[in-house]
Every structure is written in C-alpha cells, then in structure tokens.
Amino acid sequence: MKKLILVRHAKSDWPEETEDFDRPLADKGLKDAMNMSRFMKSNDISIDYFVSSPAVRALNTCKIFNQAYQLTISTEDKLYNPSERNFESVIYDLDDSVSSVAFFSHNNGISNFANSISEDIFHFPTCGVAGFEIDCNSWSEFDGAKKKLLFFYEPGKI
C-alpha cells in the first residue's frame, strides 16, 4: 500500500507588481499552515517525503509543514499550474522506497486531480489536505490501482 497526500498551498497574498510565481503567503496562510501541519503530525499522519511546486506560496507552505515533519523536500516544476497528467508524471517518478508522499500544489489542478482519483467530489480550500490510500506496491502501478480517500481536512474545520 502507498499513501498520497495532496496539499493545496496556504492562503497567499498578491502584492502589487508581484508575479504569480513569487506570491508570498498571507498572515492567515502562515497561521493555517502551522495549524494544519501540527494537526496532521499530532494525529499520527505519517509522511516520508515532500514534493512541492517551486512557486513561493507552495514551497513556503511545504517548509512550514516540514517544521513538524523534518523530511527531505524536493521541488517539481510540473506541480506549478498542473494538469492531472502532471501529477501522474510526478507519481511515476517516485522511488518505490517512498511509501507515503505529500504533494504541495495549486488549484484548479489539485482539485481536478483529486476528483479524478476519488468519487468524493470536493474543491480544495487554501491549505486543504486530502489523503488517499493507493492499493499498489510500486508507484508505477498507480493508474490501475484502487484508490480510497482516507481523509479531507480544511483549515477552518480542524
């Protein structure tokens, strides 16, 4: 069994003359990311590896989560403005020694991808987190594997 956790970046700000890629987290986003990461860690949600979009708001969300988890972080350009296929491509590149991975990414791609692998239709709020159990031994088996939603957390409801 593998576990895939999808995390939408926390609430961001959009200061004047700032490119989309360079948008920082808003104060609310910083607080939500700290609360969500602590909630997940205190509820024994295990994660082996973090992969983040390199965009500032996603990577900073990932770094805040990493204060609780202390893991290796890698960035992947395919998780910035992603399509469903982008997520699958990143999954197929994962080493099979990783049993539980968290991806930090953006809407609409992250919502669309989550809905493509789950019958539970939902829209990710900022800093929303969905966890899926993937019935496979190798990430290369992802497409044909049975997928089950384990949890969906929203920052305002934890």
Write the single-letter amino acid at 158.
I
Place of tokens 């998780």: 79
Structure tokens at 103: 């991806």
Contact 84, 110 (CB under 8 A): no
Residue 57 marked as a ligand binder:
yes
Phi and psi of 6, rounded to 5°? -110, 130
Structure tokens at 82: 């992603």
Which residues does 91 contact at the CB level (< 8 Å), separation at least 6?
4, 139, 142
Contact 65, 155 (CB under 8 A): no
Structure tokens at 72: 């290796």
Annotated binding site for substrate: 57
Annotated binding site: 57
